[in-house]
Amino acid sequence: MRILHTMIRVGNLEESIQFYTGVLGMKLLRQKDYPEGEYTLAFVGYGDEAGNTVIELTYNWGVSHYDLGKGFGHIALEVDDVYRAAEEIRKRGGKIVREAGPMNAGATIIAFAEDPDGYQIELIGKK
């Protein structure tokens, strides 16, 4: 078994695709409209779905906002240099909500970005 993807609901599909591709450097792998169900799915990731875990962006037509609730935490990305990655995200128009530095009560370097819908993206330094 392996994890295929994580699905998140988004309020503006084009804005979300721009964030994940333009800001985080993922690729849009596929996108399809489902008119009968009134939704669109877009899959983004750093590699093809056959060998990589990806993110499914689900846009329900006419829904522009979701209450994120308290159950979901974040999506984690491993990066070579957290400080540099956070700065690149900022330069590309992304929002950093926790500056790069050691995690609370630990030595691992982390930072947090936020996507257009408010989902948290943790940047973790490569070990």
**Catalytic residue IDs:** 122
Q: Could you give the CA distance from residue 77 to residue 73 in angstroms, rounded to a whole number?
A: 13
Residue with tokens 């829904």: 63
28: region left, alpha or beta (phi > 0 left; psi from -120 to 50 alpha): beta
**Nearest-angstrom CA–CA distance, 68 and 30:** 25
Residue 77 Rama label (left phi>0; alpha psi -120 to 50; beta): beta
Rounded-to-integer distance, Cα 42 and Cα 115, Å: 15
Amino acid code (one letter) for 59: Y
